[in-house]
């Protein structure tokens, strides 16, 4: 044992900036001051909001590239035959797709819309993986004619592909989506062919038996925000065993195992205690779990490993800047001037609707689909010296459910104060709604700190454009 005693470091920024602090272990303690965030990559949050308008999505190119490179290192150092695909649905902004492309990522799409979008960016078919339970006929036809790798999801789709293959030159490279139990609940059984009852093997036999096809990939995606690296060990083992059985039966060694995405970002689910850095295993643990399985195979039999991550690469790169537009519930009782007993007061502070200060923001669940699951880190742009108090954050919608955080410690704020919500880079803008409000502008902070508009704020024309008025309802 070391002779040296290292005293714990006590931090005022509970659970926020100092993951190793002893204070982080004290989950229920409150710091006097809520942490602030005045800059993103050295650029002033308040300046961004006033220059480009509020609300405003901001992405950090530096963070995106750092994450991509760390992931590549983590896997390729342990298993050099690893390749990466960008899960387009996680964030389909052209600038984001392009950025990953420049980092060497191919594209993974799950619809005709996404397929069209990446083709418009001139990503060739052979650099596209086409997943998903519903691939419209025209898109499927186009995908195979352009050499995209289609991951077959179900028997109907396989029959459809067989029809298309009759007129095609072939061989058409296919993957099979497989669902399996890796110990994660719920098991995602909606997608692909079941492993446990032999369905996946039957599908493989049918693909291999068709001279127009070549079975290139066995694919699974066990879920999202998976906190257990061991689940990937199980998934990899099960896919390896399936590959072995297919090889033994048909003499065909499948080239590639695709383990999907699902690695978590540094966000916290509601009710989870932070900080995220201690709750979420590092990407290296996932790489280790998968590589250990594949490295047990003889070198010549090692497959190409493919991953198609989304949230773990893009979530932390995304911030939503938002402004307070109104303060609610300022009639909070105080011990000094009310006749409430201490106990009643405490109850009202902790539970009471009227006791919690509320802030109406200009951004809500219309832009933050994942607010239902994740507790965003909320930081005022300005550091306040006043103690933090339990607060509720309302969105701007005329809907009672529009609450971004039920309970978050914040210093007293006033209309006009700018806040950042983080991490929001995954599955938020892409699922945002054109409901009640226009969707905001989106900025990419380039590595030198230059803010580039990558999507402008919507206008009436964007929303109204596709609408048509029947003649009898036309505006006179």
CB of 311 to ligand PLP, least distance (A): 4
**If residue 461 lies in a helix (H) or strand (E), which one and from where to where?**
helix 460-464
Nearest to 68 by CA among 447, 449, 371: 447
Q: Quick one: DSSP state of residue 109?
A: E
**Pick 182 or 360: Cβ nearer ligand PLP:** 182
Window contacting ligand PLP (CB under 6 A); options: 112-120, 306-314, 381-389, 453-461: 306-314
From candidates 16, 36, 82, 87, binder to ligand PLP by CB under 6 A: 87
Give the CB-nearest residue to ligand PLP.
261
d(CA 234, CA 182): 5
d(CA 460, CA 323): 22
Residue 224 interacts with ligand PLP (CB under 6 A)? yes
C-alpha of 329 from chain center: 34
410: tokens are 């914040």
**Pick 108 or 377: Cβ nearer ligand PLP:** 108
d(CA 309, CA 86): 6
**Pick 261 or 396: Cβ nearer ligand PLP:** 261
Residue 11 interacts with ligand PLP (CB under 6 A)? no
From candidates 173, 217, 309, 322, binder to ligand PLP by CB under 6 A: 309
**Pick 74 or 312: Cβ nearer ligand PLP:** 312
Helix (H, G, I), strand (E, B) or coil at 264: coil
Q: What is the dihedral of CA 238, 151, 317, 29, to 10 degrees?
A: -40
From candidates 15, 55, 275, 310, binder to ligand PLP by CB under 6 A: 310
Q: Is 125 left (phi over 0), alpha (psi -120 to 50) or beta?
A: alpha
**Pick 260 or 396: Cβ nearer ligand PLP:** 260
Nearest to 368 by CA among 419, 409, 308: 419
CB of 90 to ligand PLP, least distance (A): 5
As to burial, measured by CB atoms within 10 angstroms (0-12 exposed, 13-18 middle, 19+ buried), residue 325 is: middle
**Pick 312 or 378: Cβ nearer ligand PLP:** 312
**Pick 256 or 441: Cβ nearer ligand PLP:** 256
Residue 114 interacts with ligand PLP (CB under 6 A)? no
d(CA 417, CA 453): 23
Q: Rule CB under 6 A: which of 123-152 touch ligand PLP?
A: 131
d(CA 71, CA 428): 22
Q: Rule CB under 6 A: which of 383-422 touch ligand PLP?
A: none
Q: Quick one: DSSP state of residue 44?
A: E
d(CA 35, CA 14): 9
Residue 423 interacts with ligand PLP (CB under 6 A)? no
Residue 262 interacts with ligand PLP (CB under 6 A)? yes
**Pick 79 or 225: Cβ nearer ligand PLP:** 225
Window contacting ligand PLP (CB under 6 A); options: 15-23, 119-127, 254-262, 365-373: 254-262
**Pick 49 or 259: Cβ nearer ligand PLP:** 259
Cα Dmax for the chain: 88
Residue 90 interacts with ligand PLP (CB under 6 A)? yes
Q: Quick one: DSSP state of residue 202?
A: H
- # of chain residues touching ligand PLP (CB under 6 A): 16
CB of 272 to ligand PLP, least distance (A): 17
From candidates 153, 201, 308, 362, binder to ligand PLP by CB under 6 A: 308
CB of 326 to ligand PLP, least distance (A): 35
**Pick 87 or 322: Cβ nearer ligand PLP:** 87
Q: Is the Cα dihedral 135, 139, 142, 147 positive or negative? A: negative
Count other Cβ atoms within 10 Å, centred on residue 131. Answer: 28
Count of alpha carbons within 13 Å of 79, Cβ hemisphere only? 28
**If residue 164 lies in a helix (H) or strand (E), which one and from where to where?**
helix 155-167
Window contacting ligand PLP (CB under 6 A); options: 14-22, 198-206, 243-251, 302-310: 302-310
Residue 275 interacts with ligand PLP (CB under 6 A)? no
From candidates 72, 117, 306, 311, binder to ligand PLP by CB under 6 A: 311
| Ranges of H-type helices in 4-122 | 45-52, 61-78, 94-102, 112-120
**Pick 158 or 313: Cβ nearer ligand PLP:** 313
Residue 261 interacts with ligand PLP (CB under 6 A)? yes
Report the interface residues with ligand PLP, using CB under 6 A: 87, 90, 108, 131, 221, 224, 260-263, 308-312, 426
């Amino acid at each position: 044992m070391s002779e040296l005693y290292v005293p714990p470091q006590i931090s005022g920024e509970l659970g926020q900036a100092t993951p190793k602090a002893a204070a982080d272990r004290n989950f229920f303690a409150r710091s006097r001051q809520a942490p602030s965030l005045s800059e993103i990559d050295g650029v002033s949050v308040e300046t961004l909001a006033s220059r480009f308008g509020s609300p405003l999505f901001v992405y950090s190119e530096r963070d995106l590239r750092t994450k991509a490179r760390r992931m590549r290192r983590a896997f390729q150092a342990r298993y050099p035959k690893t390749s990466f695909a960008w899960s387009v649905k996680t964030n389909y902004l052209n600038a984001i797709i392009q950025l990953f492309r420049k980092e060497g990522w191919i594209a993974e799409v799950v619809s005709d819309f996404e397929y069209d979008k990446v083709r418009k960016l001139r990503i060739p078919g052979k650099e596209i993986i086409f997943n998903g339970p519903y691939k419209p006929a025209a898109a499927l036809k186009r995908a195979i004619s352009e050499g995209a790798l289609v991951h077959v999801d179900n028997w109907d789709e396989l029959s459809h592909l067989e029809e298309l293959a009759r007129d095609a030159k072939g061989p058409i490279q296919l993957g099979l989506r497989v669902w399996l139990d890796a110990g994660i609940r719920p098991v995602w059984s909606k997608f692909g062919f079941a492993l446990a009852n032999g369905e996946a093997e039957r599908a493989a036999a049918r693909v291999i038996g068709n001279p127009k096809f070549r079975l290139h990939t066995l694919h699974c995606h066990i879920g999202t925000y998976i906190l257990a690296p061991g689940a990937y060990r199980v998934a990899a083992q099960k896919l390896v065993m399936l590959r072995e059985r297919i090889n033994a039966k048909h003499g065909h060694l499948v080239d590639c195992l695709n383990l999907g995405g699902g690695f978590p970002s540094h966000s916290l689910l509601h009710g989870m205690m932070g900080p995220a850095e201690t709750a979420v295993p590092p990407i290296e643990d996932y790489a280790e779990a998968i590589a250990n399985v594949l490295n047990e195979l003889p070198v010549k039999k090692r497959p190409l490993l493919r991953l198609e991550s989304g949230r773990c690469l893009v979530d932390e790169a995304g911030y939503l800047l938002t402004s307070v537009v109104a303060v609610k519930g300022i009639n909070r009782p105080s011990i000094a001037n009310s006749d409430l007993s201490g106990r009643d007061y405490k109850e009202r502070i902790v539970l009471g609707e009227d006791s919690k200060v509320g802030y109406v923001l200009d951004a809500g669940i219309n832009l933050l689909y994942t607010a239902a699951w994740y507790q965003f880190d909320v930081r005022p742009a300005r550091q306040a010296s006043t103690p933090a108090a339990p607060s509720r954050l309302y969105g701007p919608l005329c809907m009672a459910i529009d609450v971004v955080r039920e309970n978050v410690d914040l210093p007293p704020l006033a209309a006009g104060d700018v806040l950042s919500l983080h991490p929001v880079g995954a599955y938020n803008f892409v699922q945002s709604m054109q409901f009640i409000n226009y969707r905001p502008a989106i900025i990419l902070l380039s590595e030198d700190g230059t803010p580039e508009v990558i999507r402008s704020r919507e206008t009436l024309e964007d929303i109204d454009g596709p609408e048509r008025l029947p003649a009898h309802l036309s505006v006179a």
